[in-house]
Amino acid sequence: MDLLAMISSYFPALSKSEKKVAQLILSNPDEIENLSINELSAMAGVGESTIVRFARKIGFSGFQDLKLALAKYQAIVIKKDNDKDAGEKEIVYQQYTDSLSETMGFLEADQIQEVAKAMHEANRIYILAVGNSGLVGMNLSNRLKRLGKWVEFVQDGQLQSIYATMTNEHDLAFAISTSGNTDEVIINAEMVKSHGAKLVSITNYRGSKLTGISDWVLIASSKEFISDAGSFAAMINQMFIIDVLANELVKLDPDNYHALRMKRNEALMNRLN
């Protein structure tokens, strides 16, 4: 797993002081391994205890353990030459390739299989997502409907609240939020859980409010590409997770899902006659 991607994924869950440490490491990963804890403390403007807490929060036993991981990370990183002649399409392509590789590192096969099984067995599937994440929710909804699943999704958060009151222990809900802290999504996810339904979250950050209430958490890369033109990186990585889940779902009963998909395709084709 990409160490810097993992640190980035914890960012919203960090305290203000811990974020200073994270930002310093993300900006200067090749220098941190040569610093003592009090040198890093002085550079970040935080206490040494903050650095230790930060290291433990992201899964290490302490600062020395983190330094060792950074040293190993730097040893295996492939240095990419900055080709000044590279066109924009090559630059954007490499950015998306890097972020998808990070998402691959976050996904665990056992968890994907468990979520697919829950999708397969659920009576109904509810999708909670607003804003840009609503576009990802729409894609998931359409994909599952083509496979014959009973899916409820609207992009209005208030209507999602109404649907949330209809859930029960036989249902499954997906909560999609890049930050994992979207208020409307959190409120509706908590309501779904209170009615006994299982909850899957798709987010780009660990340690968010959403991850704390979910049965399964699927993390997409949080790598951002600063550009006046904007970027669809977060959405693309969430879509990738949906593709992985859909393929794993079909594997559970391939003949049945194929027949259902063909039946729906036929219905769409008949509209053209």
Mean pLDDT value across residues 122-129: 97
Lowest model confidence (mean pLDDT) among 55-59, 166-170, 215-219, 245-249:
55-59
Q: Does domain 3-76 have CATH number 1.10.10.10?
A: yes
Q: pLDDT category, 60, cuts 50, 70, 90?
A: very high
Q: Does domain 105-270 have CATH number 3.40.50.10490?
A: yes
Unique residue bearing structure tokens 């899916």: 151
Select the more confidently predicted residue: 77 or 51: 51
- Specify the pLDDT at position 78: 46
Mean pLDDT value across residues 85-102: 77
Q: 156: which residues sit within 8 A by CB, 6+ positions away?
A: 130
Residue 52 sits at φ, ψ, to 5 deg, of -65, -45
Mean pLDDT value across residues 124-133: 93
Select the more confidently predicted residue: 24 or 161: 161
- Specify the pLDDT at position 136: 93
- Specify the pLDDT at position 227: 47
Select the more confidently predicted residue: 88 or 189: 189
One fold for both 3-76 and 105-270?
no
Unique residue bearing structure tokens 């194929």: 258
- Specify the pLDDT at position 223: 63
- Specify the pLDDT at position 231: 63
The domain ranges of the chain are 3-76, 105-270
Residues 139-153: pLDDT tens digits? 999 999 988 899 999
Whole-angstrom CA distances from 113 to 18, 143, 147, 172, 218 are 34, 18, 17, 15, 12
What is the rounded average pLDDT for all residues in the chain?
86
Residue 83: pLDDT over 70 = no
Select the more confidently predicted residue: 214 or 263: 214
CA distance 47 to 163: 47
Select the more confidently predicted residue: 223 or 230: 223
CA distance 239 to 188: 22
Mean pLDDT value across residues 8-17: 84
Residue 79: pLDDT over 90 = no
